[in-house]
């Protein structure tokens, strides 16, 4: 347990009851630079692994929820939810695809939780995936750039440029140095090196980060997540089965155009979703033991930690420097390598974060990447540069 930020969350506990839904099974494919399987094959593989992990058959599933951002643009395919249901050999289930840019995965899980919460499903399967390698670099860059506000896209502003501007301001405003930011990438690559599902198994140094090609000053290549192929799946059930329960899954939007935000270092959608999740789970940030943070760029790890009150405003960089976010630290952040090194197949990322939390909470990982015996885990999956966020809290049962 980490004692991060002293803020009273207890007054909100009566607003919503905790979900307490069971997570009987999870599964994912290895994240790769270029997979030799189709997007549908990746989705089916991840789903079958989750079913096997939970000791379930496809006939046990009441609803299928697929998270995917851009199958039409990347792969010239649509109708993924129906195709997945057919691929699993199940029928008479409800099936739908959820698109929420880079938060499509967690949004599909949110939809699955809502299906169980409402009583429409007893057992819901959420699967997220993306096969980004099917497009060339220029095409992929354009697809991802369209996540931004239309006016920003027309002006040629990209997500890396937003991240570079935020990183430059954060370093100058709070006294962190460039080597501190590089430590985020070093930490997450080290965690990924012990994760067989991660895209990168290479450990790097601070100098490696600082010597890598410039992307958006002060950010360099090793500060940025890669394009990836892969899929991940998770099952949520009305019964309290399995060793992990879902205590909250909440989402919120923020100001869409980054230029309209009062402070470029604030990501209000993360703060709002996190506050709602704390309220629903009846806990506070000091109860969180392990966190999967949407680190599409290294600076986002710090900004999101601070919005979630896992660190004081302007202080997250000190947690990284002092090793408090290491895998054996008081708050393990991105023990699977994060987006930075595990990879970032857009529709799969949010669910892969939850898969990692489940593995950590049920101590189903090798000792070298174990965070100990965590009680609560938190994940936040972000759309664009904070246009929308989904925050989930799970508990070891």
**Maximum CA extent, the chain:** 58
pTM for the whole structure? 0.93
Tell me the mean pLDDT in the region 88-95: 94
Domain boundaries along the sequence of the chain = 21-131
Q: How many residues does the chain have?
A: 397
Q: What pLDDT, in 10s, does the model give residues 106-135?
A: 999 999 999 999 999 999 999 999 999 998
| pLDDT: which is higher, 3 or 100 | 100
Rounded Cα–Cα distance for residues 394 and 232 (Å): 17
- C-alpha distance across the termini of the chain, in Å: 16
**What per-residue confidence (pLDDT) applies to 136?**
84
Average pLDDT over the chain, rounded to whole?
92
> Does the domain made of 21-131 have the CATH classification 3.40.47.10?
yes
Provide φ and ψ at 332, rounded to 5°: -75, 120
Q: Considering the chain, what percentage of its residues have pLDDT values greater than 70?
A: 94
Between CA 226 and CA 283 the distance in angstroms is 34
- Residue 262 CB neighbours (<10 A): 7
Question: Please, which residues have CB within 8 angstroms of residue 385's CB and are 6 or more apart in sequence?
Answer: 147, 148, 159, 162, 163, 258, 267
pLDDT digits (tens, 9 = 90+) for 249-302: 999 998 877 777 788 899 999 999 999 999 999 999 999 999 999 999 999 999
359, 327 in Cβ contact below 8 A? Answer: no
- Residue 64's nearest CA partner among 120, 103, 118 is 120
Cis previous bond, 196, omega within 30: no
């Amino acid at each position: 347990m980490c004692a991060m930020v002293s803020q009273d969350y207890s007054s909100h506990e009566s607003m919503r009851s905790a979900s307490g839904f069971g997570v009987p099974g999870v599964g994912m494919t290895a994240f790769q630079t270029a997979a030799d399987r189709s997007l549908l094959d990746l989705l089916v593989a991840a789903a079958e692994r989750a079913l096997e992990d939970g000791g379930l058959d496809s006939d046990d599933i009441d609803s299928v929820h697929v998270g995917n951002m851009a199958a039409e643009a990347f792969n010239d395919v649509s109708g993924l939810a129906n195709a997945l249901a057919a691929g699993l050999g199940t029928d008479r289930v409800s099936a739908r695809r959820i698109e929420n840019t880079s938060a499509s995965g967690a949004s599909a899980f949110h939809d699955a939780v809502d299906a169980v919460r409402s009583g429409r499903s007893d057992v819901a399967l959420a699967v997220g995936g993306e096969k980004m390698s099917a497009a060339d670099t220029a095409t992929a860059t354009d697809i991802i750039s369209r996540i931004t506000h239309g006016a920003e896209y027309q002006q040629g502003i990209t997500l890396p440029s937003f991240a570079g501007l935020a990183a430059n301001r954060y370093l100058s405003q709070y006294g962190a140095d460039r080597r501190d930011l590089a430590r985020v990438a070093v930490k997450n690559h080290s965690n990924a090196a012990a994760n067989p599902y991660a895209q990168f198994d290479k450990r790097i140094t601070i100098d490696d980060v600082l010597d890598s090609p410039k992307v958006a000053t002060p950010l360099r290549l090793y500060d940025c997540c890669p394009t990836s192929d892969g899929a991940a799946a998770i099952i949520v059930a009305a019964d309290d089965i399995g060793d992990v329960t879902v205590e909250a899954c909440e989402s919120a939007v923020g100001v869409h155009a980054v230029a309209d935000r009062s402070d470029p270092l604030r990501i209000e959608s993360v703060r709002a979703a996190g506050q709602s999740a704390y309220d629903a789970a009846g806990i506070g940030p000091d109860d969180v033991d392990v966190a999967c943070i949407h680190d599409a760029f290294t600076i986002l790890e710090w900004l999101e930690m601070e919005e979630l009150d896992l660190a004081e405003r302007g202080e997250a960089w000190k947690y990284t420097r002092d090793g408090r976010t290491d895998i054996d630290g008081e708050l393990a952040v991105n023990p699977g390598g994060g987006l930075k090194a595990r990879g970032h197949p857009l529709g799969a990322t949010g669910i892969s974060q939850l898969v990692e939390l489940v593995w950590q909470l049920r101590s189903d990982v090798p000792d070298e990447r174990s965070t100990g015996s965590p009680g609560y885990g938190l994940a936040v999956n972000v759309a664009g540069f904070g246009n929308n966020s989904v925050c989930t809290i799970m508990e070891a049962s």
